[in-house]
C-alpha cells in the first residue's frame, strides 16, 4: 500500500461547534471545559481554536446568567439551573445557533436569561434553544428542546444539497476538513452506483454525493439526526427524493440495508462498527466498503475482522486532521471484495 496521505487545515479558528460546561458561582460562572477526569471547569473566554463568534456568544451568555441571577449547575449536589452551552456557527450566514442546557423541565426559570441572550447577541443570532437535561449523568444534551427564537436548523452545503442540523443532531466541528472527507469519499463512488450508508446522521455524506448515485439508502438511529435528514430530503427535487430510502433504527438491526448495494459507507461512533453489522458485512461483503473512523483502535479491530473473515481487502487509507491539537485523526479506509 502507498504512503497514507495526511490532510490538514487551519490550526486556529476552525471550530464551528462547541459544547461548553457551565459551573461555578452565581455571580461568577465559568464557561469552558472540564479538567481531565474531573467536573472542575476551566474557564476559556478566548479559546483560539473556536470561531470568534463562539467566544463572543459565551461571554454574552455568562453576563446574562449573572444579570438574571441564574445559578450554575453543581454535579455533586445535582442542584443549580444552567448546565451546558452549545454554540453552532452556520457558515453561510455567520450566525450562531445557541442552546442553553438546564437542570429543569421547562424554560420558565431561564426566560429572563434567554431574552437577554436573544437581545444581546442580536443580528449574530441564528436561533436560540432551551434544552432540558435533569439526568444525574455526564450526557450533555437531554431529549427535550424548546425553540425560543429563530429557524429550526442550521444549514450547511458540502458541494451538494442543503444539509440541516437541528440543535440535537450530531455534526462535525471542523467543517472545512469534513468537506475534504466528503470529497475524498466521492472519488471512490462510481457514477450511477447504488449506495448504503450506516450511521448516516443528517445525511452530510450521502446527500452530498447524491448526484453521483442511482440509489441511496440511509440508516440512522438518533431522532434529532433523523429530523434533520427529513428536512434535507424535503428540499430535494422529486428526482433526487425518489433515489433515497431512510431506514430508522440501530445499525445492528439494519444490515439488510446493504443488500444489493455497490458501495457501503459506515461512519460509526468511536466504539466502531456494531458487531452484528460487522457479521453481516463478513457474510455478504459489498464490492466496496468505505469506513470513516474517529477511533483508530476500533478501526484496526474492525478491519482485522473484515479482512480475516471475508473477501474484503484493504486498498487505501487516508488520514484527516479533523481535531487539531489532539492525538486523534479521522481515517477513511477503502476496502474491496476480491
Which pLDDT tens digit goes with each residue over 152-200?
Answer: 999 999 989 999 999 999 999 999 999 999 999 999 999 999 999 999 9
Does residue 2 register a pLDDT over 80?
A: no
Domains of the chain: 17-151 (2.40.50.1070), 156-337 (3.40.50.150)
Q: By CB neighbour count within 10 A (0-12 exposed, 13-18 middle, 19+ buried), where does 174 fall?
A: buried
As given in the structure block, the three cell numbers for residue 208 are 452530498
Q: What is the pTM of this model?
A: 0.96
Q: For residue 251, what are the contacts with CB-CB under 8 A and spacing of at least 6?
A: 198, 199, 219, 221, 266, 268, 273, 274, 276, 277
Chain centroid to CA 43: 24
Q: Please, which pLDDT band fits residue 72 given cuts at 50, 70 and 90?
A: very high
Q: Cell 442553553 identifies what position?
A: 100
Cβ proximity of 33 and 41 under 8 Å: yes
Give the pLDDT of residue 100: 98
pLDDT band at 332 (very low <50, low <70, confident <90, very high): very high
Amino acid at each position: 500500500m502507498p504512503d497514507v496521505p495526511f490532510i490538514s487545515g487551519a490550526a486556529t479558528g476552525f471550530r464551528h461547534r462547541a459544547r461548553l460546561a457551565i459551573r461555578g458561582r452565581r455571580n461568577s460562572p465559568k464557561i469552558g471545559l472540564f479538567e481531565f477526569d474531573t467536573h472542575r471547569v476551566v474557564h476559556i473566554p478566548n479559546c483560539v481554536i473556536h470561531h470568534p463568534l463562539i467566544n463572543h456568544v459565551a461571554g454574552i451568555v455568562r453576563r446574562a446568567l449573572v444579570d438574571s441571577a441564574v445559578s450554575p449547575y453543581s454535579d455533586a449536589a445535582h442542584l443549580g439551573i444552567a448546565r451546558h452551552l452549545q454554540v453552532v456557527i452556520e457558515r453561510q450566514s455567520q450566525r450562531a445557533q445557541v442552546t442553553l442546557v438546564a437542570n429543569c423541565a421547562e424554560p420558565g426559570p431561564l426566560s429572563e436569561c434567554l431574552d437577554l441572550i436573544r437581545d444581546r447577541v442580536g443580528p449574530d443570532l441564528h436561533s436560540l434553544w432551551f434544552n432540558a437535561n435533569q439526568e444525574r449523568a455526564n450526557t450533555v444534551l437531554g431529549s427535550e428542546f424548546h425553540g425560543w427564537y429563530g429557524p429550526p436548523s442550521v444549514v450547511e452545503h458540502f458541494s451538494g444539497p442543503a444539509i440541516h442540523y437541528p440543535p440535537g443532531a450530531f455534526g462535525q466541528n471542523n467543517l472545512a476538513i469534513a468537506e475534504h472527507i466528503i470529497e475524498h469519499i466521492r472519488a471512490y463512488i462510481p457514477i450511477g452506483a447504488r449506495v448504503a450508508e450506516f450511521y448516516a446522521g443528517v445525511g452530510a455524506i450521502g446527500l452530498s454525493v447524491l448526484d453521483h448515485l442511482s440509489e441511496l439508502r440511509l440508516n440512522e438511529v438518533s431522532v434529532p439526526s433523523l429530523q434533520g435528514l427529513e428536512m434535507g430530503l424535503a428540499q430535494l427535487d422529486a428526482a433526487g427524493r425518489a433515489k433515497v430510502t431512510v431506514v430508522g433504527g440501530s445499525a445492528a438491526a439494519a444490515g439488510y440495508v446493504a443488500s444489493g448495494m455497490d458501495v457501503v459507507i459506515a461512519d460509526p461512533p468511536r466504539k466502531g462498527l456494531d458487531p452484528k453489522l460487522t457479521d453481516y458485512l463478513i457474510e455478504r461483503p459489498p464490492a466496496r466498503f468505505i469506513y470513516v473512523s474517529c477511533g483508530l483502535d476500533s478501526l484496526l479491530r474492525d478491519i482485522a475482522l473484515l479482512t480475516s473473515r471475508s473477501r474484503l481487502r484493504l486498498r487505501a487509507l487516508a488520514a484527516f486532521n479533523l481535531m487539531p491539537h489532539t492525538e486523534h485523526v479521522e481515517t477513511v479506509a477503502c476496502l474491496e471484495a476480491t
